């Protein structure tokens, strides 16, 4: 029996890559493959789902039809150890954030990103094949002379978002909304490459020019403490801190409440390998305003307003257009639901399995 085992340095249950890994394991097992997950740092919520990579040799000893699929998103000593194993190796490339965004705020993270780029440059030509979440990610692999590549979007099961939202949070949000004003939402790690400072600047313009009662919620944990504190200071300087909520890490039920009570989803990131939250917003019928950087245009497609200029005045005007033009808003909501269908696991799951089988056969 063919075995495809997944390796990753950090395994977190509610993380997009972590959920993708779990869903892929289920797909592989349901299709008749043996498949386990190996991780160095498995968070408490998924610790029972992963094995220590050091046990891999003992667990698979004597099995000839064996593959490793390594989830690549950051530099890690694990990758160098995996490369030393006498097992066919493939990548699932989720992108590495450009270190330039982190040098000022979190130099250690920037160093890990640089190491990841070094490892990827060495490994890409040597692996049997690589999957990429997006055409943007695939282009990076091709530039590094990866022998075979294919685009296989990250696996998303949108039925996960049909659960009940946090009732208390939902009630509080609805009471606030009854007083008027639009609710802006952005979801994702609070990180320099995601440019939440640009969202704050655009929101400040929006309140001053269009809607003085508007509110902004930034959902996501910290990736750089200095950047987190700088954003709070910026909100104070812009005189919008009373209208801005920084949630830090939230539960799944809380996340659902924030989506269900939002009027617009704003993404002004400058570096994304895919971006799941914009699709989450579309699932909830929240229209999207996004900046046309990296993989964002491919992910959003025609399901949102994609801006080539993120000047605060331009972004604020785009949000106001969505609020004032009901026809445009409805058109984007409908187009967004089609994008959600395009990326649903019912569609992408079988495609990913077919792609894996084809590439494994070609490179066996």
Q: Where are the domains of the chain?
A: 3-157+344-363, 159-342
Task: Judge: domain 3-157+344-363, CATH 3.40.50.2000.
Answer: yes
3-state secondary structure of 52: coil
The superfamily CATH assigns to domain 159-342 is: Glycogen Phosphorylase B; (3.40.50.2000)
* pLDDT the model gives residue 1: 80
pLDDT in tens, 66-112: 999 999 998 899 999 999 998 999 999 999 999 999 999 999 999 99
CA torsion, points 24, 25, 28, 32, in degrees to nearest 10? -160
Q: Do domains 3-157+344-363 and 159-342 have the same CATH topology?
A: yes
Contact 359, 301 (CB under 8 A): no
CA distance 66 to 156: 26
* CB-neighbour burial class of residue 99 (10 A; exposed 0-12, middle 13-18, buried 19+): buried
The total of other beta-carbon atoms located within 10 Å of residue 67's CB is 22
pLDDT in tens, 148-157: 999 999 999 9
CA distance 34 to 48: 17
CA distance 87 to 67: 6
* pLDDT the model gives residue 62: 73
Q: Give me the count of residues in the chain.
A: 364
Q: How far is CA 82 from CA 53, 90, 209, 252, in A?
A: 9, 11, 55, 33
**Which alpha helices (DSSP H) does 134-195 contain, by range?**
135-143, 167-177
- Weakly modelled stretches of the chain, pLDDT under 70: none
Q: How far is CA 325 from CA 77, 213, 314, 319, 322, in A?
A: 52, 19, 16, 10, 5
First to last CA, the chain: 14
Strand 3-11 relative to strand 304-307, pairing: unpaired
């Amino acid at each position: 029996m063919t075995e495809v085992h997944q390796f990753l340095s950090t395994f977190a249950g509610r993380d997009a890559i972590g959920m993708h890994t779990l869903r892929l394991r289920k797909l592989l097992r349901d299709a008749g493959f043996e498949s386990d997950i190996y991780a160095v740092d498995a968070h408490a919520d998924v610790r029972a789902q992963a094995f220590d990579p050091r046990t891999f040799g003992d667990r698979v000893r004597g099995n000839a039809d064996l593959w490793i699929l390594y989830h690549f998103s950051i530099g890690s000593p694990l990758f160098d150890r995996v490369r030393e194993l006498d097992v066919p190796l493939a990548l699932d490339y989720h992108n590495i954030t450009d270190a330039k965004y982190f040098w000022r705020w979190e130099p250690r993270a920037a160093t890990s990103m640089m190491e990841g780029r070094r490892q990827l440059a060495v490994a890409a030509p040597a692996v049997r094949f690589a999957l990429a979440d997006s055409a943007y990610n695939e282009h990076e692999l091709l530039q590094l002379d990866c022998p075979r590549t294919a685009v296989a979007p990250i696996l998303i099961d949108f039925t996960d978002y049909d659960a009940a939202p946090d009732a208390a949070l939902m009630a509080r949000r609805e009471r606030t909304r009854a007083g008027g004003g639009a609710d802006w939402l952005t979801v994702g790690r609070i990180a320099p490459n995601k440019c939440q400072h640009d969202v704050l600047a655009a929101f400040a313009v929006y309140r001053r020019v269009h809607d003085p009662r508007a509110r902004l919620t930034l959902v996501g944990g910290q990736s750089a403490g200095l950047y987190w504190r700088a954003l709070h200071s910026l909100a104070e300087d812009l005189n919008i801190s009373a209208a801005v909520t920084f949630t830090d890490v939230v539960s799944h039920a809380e996340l659902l409440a924030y989506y269900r009570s939002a009027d617009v989803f704003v993404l002004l990131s400058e570096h994304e390998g895919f971006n799941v939250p914009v699709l989450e917003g579309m699932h909830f019928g929240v229209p999207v305003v996004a900046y046309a950087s990296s993989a964002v245009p491919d992910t959003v497609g025609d399901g949102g307003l994609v801006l080539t200029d993120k000047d605060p005045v331009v972004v604020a005007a785009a949000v106001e257009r969505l609020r004032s033009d009901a026809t445009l808003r409805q058109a984007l909501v409908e187009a967004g639901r089609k994008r959600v269908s395009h990326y649903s696991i019912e569609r992408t799951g079988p495609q990913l399995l077919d792609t894996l089988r084809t590439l494994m056969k070609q490179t066996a």
